[in-house]
């Protein structure tokens, strides 16, 4: 790991705002990202006329539901839903501390990807904070299986994601994608991958109160004939698995820090991502907290263990 901004925590240089609709609620919402102090992490401030308002920290201990999206807080009370695309963009670009203010309870879906968030953060730029960034280093394998699906963490010199999906539908089929976490790789290969769904599931989702804001403008839709019905087609030949990786990055960002290791999943989703993260953070022998330090002799930079919390995400 090189010196410079990657060794320190970062925040945004200025505030930036976006507006859209929630993919599940169908309601309009505005979201503003503002600079925050070092060691404060990502905090959502939710306010809505006539409803409960307050702050929710973007930590795994706050996960309240993982059915069709990741929800922080109490789904029946104070909460913020569909945070995974926001968190993936913050995580991949290395933004540690930010205040996220919303006038609704679900993050805007925008075009169904993380691209607009990335563009917004690039527009204002990052501010280096002179406080060391801490990481969660994986020390031993941790694996969770749910039927035919599984996910695992393993030690690795860096941060790597390997995701594989397997759908019976011919439009998707079996796809795999791997990437080492890097801001440029995320911008180019992952950020633009959109959420997707099946036309045959629409009525069921509507009846359950989900996907009320879903449209061809924010989702890749697979029709009854098994074909993608969006006129523009796919942004990547394997856009489906790339979006699953985007979701995984956002879900795992709730650890409160980047991890150093390899994450692999097969037929995963929000529920499985949460389960393997819980398994990891529940086992204190499976990880350690490290930070970059420059040795007094020479110019070498090393990762050393520190006896300090990140944002205490494992207070389960």
Positions annotated as catalytic residues are 270
- What is d(CA 127, CA 35) in angstroms, rounded to the nearest whole number? 8
45 known ligand binder? no
85 known ligand binder? yes
Q: With CA atoms as reference, report the closest residue to 17 among 75, 84, 79, 103.
A: 103
Tokens of 296: 């007094």
- Indicate the burial class of 137 (C-beta count within 10 angstroms; 0-12, 13-18, 19 or more): buried
Q: DSSP class of residue 3?
A: S
Sign of CA dihedral 158, 122, 127, 5: positive
Q: With CA atoms as reference, report the closest residue to 281 among 298, 305, 259.
A: 259
Q: With CA atoms as reference, report the closest residue to 313 among 43, 58, 71, 40.
A: 58
Question: Coil, strand or helix: which one is 286?
Answer: coil
- What is d(CA 303, CA 87) in angstroms, rounded to the nearest whole number? 24
- What is d(CA 244, CA 303) in angstroms, rounded to the nearest whole number? 30
- What is d(CA 81, CA 156) in angstroms, rounded to the nearest whole number? 31
Contacts of residue 5, defined as CB under 8 A and 6 or more positions apart, other chains included, come to 94, 126, 128
Helices 84-93 and 115-124: crossing angle in degrees, nearest 10, is 40
Q: Taking the CB of residue 208, how many other CB atoms lie within 10 A of it? A: 11
Tokens of 254: 């709730």
Binding residues are 85, 243, 247
Which residues are annotated as part of the binding site for Zn(2+)?
85, 243, 247
């Amino acid at each position: 790991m090189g010196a410079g901004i990657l060794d320190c925590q970062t925040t945004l240089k200025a505030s930036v705002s976006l507006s859209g609709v929630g993919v599940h609620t169908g309601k309009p919402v505005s979201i503003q990202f503002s600079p925050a102090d070092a060691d404060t992490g990502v905090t959502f401030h939710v306010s809505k006329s006539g409803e409960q308002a307050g702050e929710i920290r973007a930590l795994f201990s706050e996960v309240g539901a993982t059915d069709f999206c990741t929800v922080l807080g109490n789904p029946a009370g104070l909460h913020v839903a569909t945070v995974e695309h926001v968190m993936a963009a913050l995580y991949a670009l290395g933004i540690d501390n930010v205040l996220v203010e919303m006038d609704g309870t679900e993050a805007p879906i925008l075009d169904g990807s993380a691209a607009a968030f990335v563009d917004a953060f690039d527009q204002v730029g990052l501010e280096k904070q002179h406080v060391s960034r801490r990481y969660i280093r994986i020390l031993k394998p941790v694996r969770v299986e749910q039927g035919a699906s599984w996910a695992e963490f393993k030690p690795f010199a860096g941060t790597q994601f390997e995701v594989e999906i397997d759908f019976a539908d011919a439009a998707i089929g079996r796809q795999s994608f791997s990437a080492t976490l890097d801001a440029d790789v995320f911008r180019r290969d992952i950020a633009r991958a959109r959420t997707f769904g099946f036309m045959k599931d629409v009525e069921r989702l509507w009846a359950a109160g989900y996907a009320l804001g879903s449209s061809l403008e924010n989702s890749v839709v697979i029709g009854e004939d098994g074909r993608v019905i969006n006129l523009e087609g796919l942004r990547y030949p394997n856009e489906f698995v790339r979006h699953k990786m985007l979701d995984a990055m956002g879900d795992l960002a709730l650890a409160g820090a980047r991890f150093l290791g390899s994450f692999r999943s097969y037929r995963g989703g929000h529920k499985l991502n949460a389960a393997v993260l819980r398994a990891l953070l529940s086992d204190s022998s499976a990880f350690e907290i490290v930070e970059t330090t420059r040795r007094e002799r020479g110019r070498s930079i090393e990762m050393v263990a520190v006896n300090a919390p990140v944002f205490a995400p494992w207070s389960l």
